[in-house]
Each structure stands twice: as structure tokens, then as C-alpha cells.
Amino acid sequence: MPTFSFEQARACVIDRVTEGRVFQPGEDVALEIAAGRVLAEEVRADRDYPSVARSVRDGFAVHAADVPGKLNVIGEVRAGDRFTGTVSRGEAVEIMTGAPIPQGADSVIMVEHTTRDADGDVSTDRAADVGQFINPQGCEARASEVVLKPGKRLDFSDIAMLAAIGKSRVAVCPKPRVALLATGDEIVPIAETPRAYQIRNSNVYALAVQVKRAGGVPVILPVAKDEYADTRELMERGLSSGLLLVSGGVSAGKYDIVERVLADLGAEFFFDRVLIQPGQPLVFGRVRDCFFFGLPGNPASTMVTFEIFARAALELIVGQSYTELPLTYARLTRDFRHKTGLTRFLPANVCSGDSGPQLTPVSWRGSSDVPALTRANAFLVADADRGDWKTGDLMRVLLK
């Protein structure tokens, strides 16, 4: 298989999963627990929004042709009420933000631009256009207009929209189970005291958090020893989930048997190496209806490759109509240099500054350096075709 660049590998993941994902029927949930879930139904407005023309300012409802000038105030109207009379020429109605526009009025003058006299009349030296500070009926959404489409992850504004149209329950995509399998004779349970040549099983716990953030349900499997039969049996269990994430065993070592086991299970491989650091030995493919990733075993490699590749796959499997990598830019606080050829995702800190976000690389000792990762709140992204950045240069950043 060819070795992919970062951009090629990510495009491959998105294309393959988009083409091959299998959607499950939606499940009905209460609105108060729907935030963060992916919408599985088309949602339409139940009426015009706003349902009547409304004022968007506190002030006076008037005829635009009557101002500048002095007007007789004949009443007031506030949000949640309506004025039953008609505004004739030379008249005004005091109006509050959100209140319905009285019949006859065609403009609103802001209260800040008016004065009231002892008789209660109002004067303004400002002219007004017809429709000024008025939201017409249906200008936000028309009755039966689609306001939310399937495949959108619901945020607080979407919940507000659903509540506004009276949806107390909504259909969302089911959360897929994601099997997490760590491999390696050196790995022991976290409650166990490791010998000097052993490590605790930290990767699956980090992955479980990342899976939950992306909308999946993590299922932690027992550690697979570096033995064919044990690895195959656990992979078979993992392939019953919506996605299988294997940590370790994908390098070129004598006991790295993950790819051989997957091949024997009938895997279709899409790539097995990407020009990135950390995470160069990375496997992506499918067995039957289950997509899988063979993630490198070092913690930083596992975390980074999930965020830039597996997260996209999971978001699409969950039911999202699209997925994006949340990259931003920040200015370097010191010079940075790396060897070209690989796109590097290295620990860094981003903080606010006078000229915008500031980016400071964090010293680290390689992809097993978890303490360095805990001191970072982001990963700087060093482009494969550029070797040098100077203090003050803008650089891409992936926030944790």
C-alpha cells in the first residue's frame, strides 16, 4: 500500500466511512437529554417565526411619514400583549422589545431618540424608514420550513429551536459501541503495580474519554497478549461493535501481529502508514461492516491519531452529515524548527495575548511522554513542507 500524507489519509477515512456506514433507526429521547446527540429526523417550523410582526427595540410605533415631529401617544404595548386599537396619522404607541406592532404603524423610533412632554406627547428629530426596527411576520422561518436537518449534532441553539416549536421529544441517532483493545505483553491493569519493564493500561482510558466526546459508547476489552490466538479472539469480539480501535501492535516488530490477524479475519486495508509524527504506523480498514483503526501504542500517538482520524470516522458513524478538524491559528512565542517530510502534531500551550492567541511549544521526550501532554492544552501543527517558523509567525493549532 502507498504511504499517505496527513491530508490524503484523512480524506481517505472520510470518503470510505461516508460510503460504507450503515445507519440504524433513530431513537426517541426527551429534549432535556438531547444536547450533543445527532439529529435523526427533519424538523419543520410549526408556525411562522415571528408569528406576528414584532419590534426589535424599545421605543414608539409610528407612521414613518410622521417623523421628525410631535406625536400623540395613545397607549403602550409590551411583549406578551397586543394593542387592540389602530395607530392613525399623528399618533404613536409606546412599544417594548418583542411586542407586536400595532395595526397602522409601519416603523419604530428608538426611545433614546425621543423626548416626552408634560402632556405625555412624544417628539423626535429623527427621520424613519418604513419597516425600521420591525421584524416582519415569518422573517426568521415560515410555517413548515425545515429548520433543522438530520445529521446535525445538537447544540444549545438547536435545543432552543426545538423547544420554541414545541418538540419535547426528538429522534436522534443511536450511539455506536466502540471496542477498545490494547495489545502487548508489557501492559498490566491500572490497579496493578507494574514491574520495571511493564506499563499500566492507560491508553484505553484516554480513548474512552475521546470516544465519549465524539458520541460513542466505549467498550473496554481485556488486554490482548502478543499471541495470535488471544489477539484474534479479542478482535472477533471487538468486530461486533460499530468501530474497533486497537492500540499497539501495528509497527514492524517481530511481535506486532495486529495486521496479520486482521488480514486473516478478512480485512480490507485502506492504508497502513501515514507521514505524520507521532503516529506514523497507522492502520485503517474494514472487516465486514466494521471499520477499524490500528493505532500506535505510545500514548501521544494513540491520542493524536484518534483526534485527527478516528474521531472523524466515529462522528460519521454516529450519523453526522459532515466532520471537521477544529484547527485554528496562533502566533509563536519563539522560533520553531523541524525536519520536513512529516506533518507533526506536538504538545503546546495556547494563551491569550495582546496580538491574539499565543503559541508556546512544550518540551517533550517523545510520544511516550504523558507528563508533557498534561502540561499542554493543544498540539501545534508543523506542515510537512515547511521547516522553519520565526517568533510571531502564525502556526496552525489543534486544541485538545
Give 65-115 pLDDT, tens digit per residue. Answer: 999 999 999 999 999 999 999 999 999 999 999 999 999 999 999 999 999
Res. 2 pLDDT band, cuts 50 70 90: confident
Res. 253 pLDDT band, cuts 50 70 90: low
- Distance, CA of 335 to CA of 10 (rounded, Å): 28
* Residue ranges of domains in the chain: 6-24+175-318, 27-46+143-172, 54-135, 327-399
| Residue 171 vs residues 41, 126, 174: alpha-carbon distances, Å | 6, 50, 9
Find residue 381's DSSP bridge partners: 345, 396
pLDDT digit string, tens, across residues 338-370: 999 999 999 999 999 998 999 999 999 999 999
Q: Which CATH class is domain 27-46+143-172?
A: alpha beta
| CATH tag for 6-24+175-318 (out of 3.40.980.10, 3.40.1160.10, 3.40.190.10, 3.30.70.2520) | 3.40.980.10
Residues 6 or more apart in contact with residue 356 via CB below 8 angstroms: 330, 331
pLDDT score, position 23: 87
CATH code at 327-399: 2.40.340.10
CATH code at 54-135: 2.170.190.11
pLDDT score, position 308: 97
Q: Is the pLDDT of residue 254 over 80?
A: no
pLDDT score, position 251: 67
Characterize the bridge pairing of strands 358-361 and 343-351. antiparallel
Closest by alpha carbon to 296, among 251, 229, 261? 251
Residues 6 or more apart in contact with residue 127 via CB below 8 angstroms: 64, 67, 68
pLDDT digit string, tens, across residues 39-73: 999 999 999 999 999 999 999 999 999 999 999 99
Burial-class residue 242 by CB neighbours within 10 Å (0-12, 13-18, 19+): buried
- Distance, CA of 288 to CA of 265 (rounded, Å): 9
Characterize the bridge pairing of strands 327-332 and 358-361. parallel
